[in-house]
Homo-oligomer: A and B are copies of this chain.
């Protein structure tokens, strides 16, 4: 049995995965804020899954954690996980000290890429396009995470696609993330609604021209991200996940529409079958926790 934990901004998902890679147990906890509370959340998740499975921490074949921010998978060091109140944290070392066993730490998008690839039974080259607060992709090749030389492979959110676009937090202009991410939408469509992107879609449906324009740019930004991934790493499948993916089939339909429009003016793009490569992550699947359980397995 393997154990995987996905520490998110407000909630923590944790799963136990059996020998065959199937989900055996799944729990959810609120995430604490700050260094000590984040460590306690992870310890509590291991303890609770230990009760459900009857296993001590050392009884699991492996324990892995997915967490936002800059993660050094070798050392277990986490930096810049702003939503969790973490500047720098030796998460791997601290958890190993508390649990008495080694713990693997991975960036949550990379963990989700591995989990989604496993859950959907995808082989070969797979990209997982995460549309959360920011935009980033995780790449999986033959069932293994592809990190690149310095761990930034797939950081496509900061690729500019319009020199006259809005200023991005990264200091560049017109990055993909300014079009197609939670933060990009929030900047264009300020609202108190707890689900800002659903509010945007509702306003677009009511015919609000500003909302329609923002929703259209969102679809174009996602389509452009798919094009970037295909023309660089050439994945057979691009799985769309993250908070914005809860918009579901409607979002997918709009992205397909943009891709089909492009095909009408570019025979080159048409030859790539971009629409046929895109799919949504199954709603409600704990892909990042699942991936965290599998990180380092292969």
Q: Measuring CB to CB, which residues of chain A are less than 8 angstroms from any residue of chain B?
A: 124-125, 147-156, 158-164, 170-172, 224, 227-236, 262, 265-269, 272
Contact = CB atoms under 8 A, between A and B. Distances in A.
A224 B164 CA distance: 15
30 contacts: A125-B148, A148-B233, A148-B235, A149-B234, A149-B236, A150-B234, A150-B272, A152-B230, A152-B231, A152-B234, A152-B272, A153-B234, A154-B231, A155-B231, A158-B231, A158-B268, A159-B227, A160-B161, A161-B161, A162-B162, A162-B163, A170-B268, A171-B265, A171-B266, A171-B268, A172-B262, A172-B269, A228-B232, A229-B232, A232-B233
Contacts of A163: 161-162
Contacts of A233: 148, 153, 232-233
A147 B232 contact: no
Contacts of A147: 234
Number of copies: 2
Chain A interface main SS type: loop
Contacts of A269: 158, 170-172
